[in-house]
């Protein structure tokens, strides 16, 4: 096997990491030809792979599902990636199983150039099961200074404050026992995250990068939405990472990100494979 120094994997033809939007899966029609796949947004990543021939790549998609329909679409995308000369290991990572304080599920594809002779193994979540990944621990330990960057509190209306007073931790606006005058009057809407309070003893539910009032993630005891810094804690960003832009732009950036600590686990697994360092691994849950 060819030898690689770890630093070389991040420069030149070493490694490439990219994400492609959720709608890249939805626009892929199984009756279309591969050419249609190359015309979608994720083709930018494929173009970089074709041009630079990295030793390995990581491709992340947040909207993919493993049901029959999206499974066929995923198969088409993997077919294109494999045609470029890469061995692939797609896996649905459930980051809360890796000690991340958030139930965040993402399909991540690791591709290694076939001529390299290195096999990637999905890191096992077992070494992380002892960690306290409750949202209370993530947000409160250590306490966030009031003047921390991106820690501006949003003022809640009296209606929202009153509504939240009837919602217990883990409940939302549709499962809580709320008097009629404070109930939502959106016909047919049953979104489970609407005005949902966190359960402090469990990982957070999935942060969203978009959405109007009621989808901002709500504190378990205080009648308010989380600040962006608290959301960043749930995504395991370090406190000295400063986001720029409007408050809503920052919320979008945080909500669309991959948890930093989760990404590190995957990147380190890739590097260990190249360095020949053993680690605990598990079988991929997506076979394609």
Please identify every residue annotated as catalytic: 22
How far apart CA 61 and CA 28 sit, in angstroms, is 14
Q: Edge-to-edge strand order for the sheet containing 105-113?
A: 15-19, 56-61, 105-113, 86-94
Question: Which residue, 142, 104, 91, 122, is CA-closest to 261?
Answer: 104
Token pair for residue 185?
């009057």
CA 56 to the chain's CA centroid = 20
Number of neighbours of residue 28 by Cβ within 10 angstroms = 21
Contacts of 225 (CB under 8 A, 6+ apart): 154, 156, 216, 217, 218, 219
Query: Do residues 255 and 207 touch, judged by C-beta distance below 8 A?
Result: yes
CA distances from 118 to 6, 8, 141 (A): 14, 15, 39
Query: Do residues 159 and 167 touch, judged by C-beta distance below 8 A?
Result: no
């Amino acid at each position: 096997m060819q030898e690689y120094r770890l630093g070389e994997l991040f420069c030149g033809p070493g490694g490439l990491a990219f994400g492609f939007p959720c709608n890249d899966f939805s626009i892929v029609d199984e009756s279309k030809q591969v050419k249609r796949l190359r015309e979608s947004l994720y083709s930018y990543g494929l173009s970089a792979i074709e041009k630079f021939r990295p030793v390995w790549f990581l491709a992340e998609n947040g909207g993919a599902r493993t049901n029959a329909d999206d499974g066929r679409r995923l198969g088409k995308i993997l077919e294109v990636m494999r045609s470029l000369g890469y061995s692939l290991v797609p896996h649905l990572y459930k980051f809360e199983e890796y000690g991340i304080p958030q139930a965040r599920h993402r399909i991540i594809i690791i591709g290694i150039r076939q001529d390299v002779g290195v096999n990637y193994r999905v890191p096992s979540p077992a070494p992380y099961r002892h960690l306290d990944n409750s949202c209370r621990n993530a947000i409160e330990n250590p306490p966030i200074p009031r003047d921390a960057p991106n820690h501006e509190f949003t003022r809640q209306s009296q209606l929202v404050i009153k509504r939240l007073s009837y919602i217990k931790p883990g409940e939302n606006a549709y499962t809580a026992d709320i008097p009629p005058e404070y109930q939502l009057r959106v016909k047919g809407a049953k979104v489970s995250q609407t005005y949902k309070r966190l359960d402090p003893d469990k990982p957070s539910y999935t942060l969203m990068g978009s959405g109007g009032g009621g989808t901002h993630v709500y504190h378990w005891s205080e009648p308010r939405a989380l600040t962006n810094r608290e959301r960043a804690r749930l995504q395991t960003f370090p406190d000295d990472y400063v986001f720029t832009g409007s408050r809503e732009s920052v919320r979008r950036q945080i909500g669309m990100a991959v948890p930093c600590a989760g990404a590190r686990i995957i990147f380190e697994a890739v590097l260990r494979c190249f360095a020949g360092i053993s680690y605990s691994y598990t079988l991929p849950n997506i076979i394609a």
